[in-house]
Amino acid sequence: GNSVTQMEGPVTLSEEAFLTINCTYTATGYPSLFWYVQYPGEGLQLLLKATKADDKGSNKGFEATYRKETTSFHLEKGSVQVSDSAVYFCALTSDGGSYIPTFGRGTSLIVHP
Amino acid sequence: EPEVTQTPSHQVTQMGQEVILRCVPISNHLYFYWYRQILGQKVEFLVSFYNNEISEKSEIFDDQFSVERPDGSNFTLKIRSTKLEDSAMYFCASSDYGSSGANVLTFGAGSRLTVL
């Protein structure tokens, strides 16, 4: 079946620090990969996605590269801001079954001024 | 920007009581979902709904649960005879292209259910 494993949080950083949140996956079929973000009091929203191997998704300074050889989709940002404080969810859909997204447990990011 | 709205934001109930969680999906979306997240655990898929019927459900979605689209705009999750382990955040979501690998969901802010 499909599963997503994310690093445990919380991740606590100072403003302008480099961010990496690890995500690895297992999938039946060929997956599409996603990062969603949940800001306090809001629903999950799409941050970025990649639908085939070696694609890089990017948005708002965040990037993630679809690595088939390591089954990974790590989220990175070169310089975080306080406003990036949120919970980040890695997810996948797969053509090996339904296209219903499978999510990880989420990683909380706290950025201090 | 269109959004998914959920009510109530927080509900406290006694064990054994029935609970209805309500959602208004984005109006032109065709696929609707319920997920839940028990504190500290993964966001788990419960059920998907398309063309006025359940299209897929997980093992969690047993006879205790039911979904309905009563009036063309609301999408409800009913939990009969709640148990302590039903305490969780319940997320409603919708999408307009549920049969594609690039299926992107729009989520509501969630309804926190606390069963005492």
Beta strand pairing call for B111-115 and B10-13: parallel
Q: Is the predicted pLDDT of residue A29 greater than 90, yes or no? A: no
pLDDT at B103: 86
Looking at residue B27, its amino acid is S
Given an 8 Å threshold on Cβ–Cβ distance, is A43 in contact with B43? no
What value does the mean pLDDT take over residues A69-88?
Answer: 97
Number of A to B CB contacts under 8 A, please give it: 71
pLDDT at B100: 64
Reported as a pLDDT band with limits 50, 70 and 90, residue A99 is confident
Reported as a single tens digit per residue, the pLDDT across B7-50 is: 999 999 999 999 999 999 998 898 999 999 998 888 999 999 99
Reported as a single tens digit per residue, the pLDDT across B66-99 is: 999 988 789 999 999 999 999 999 999 999 876 6
3-state SS assignment for residue A79: coil
Closest Cα partner for A90 from A44, A35, A16, A12? A35
Given an 8 Å threshold on Cβ–Cβ distance, is A34 in contact with B108? no
What value does the mean pLDDT take over residues A96-110?
Answer: 88
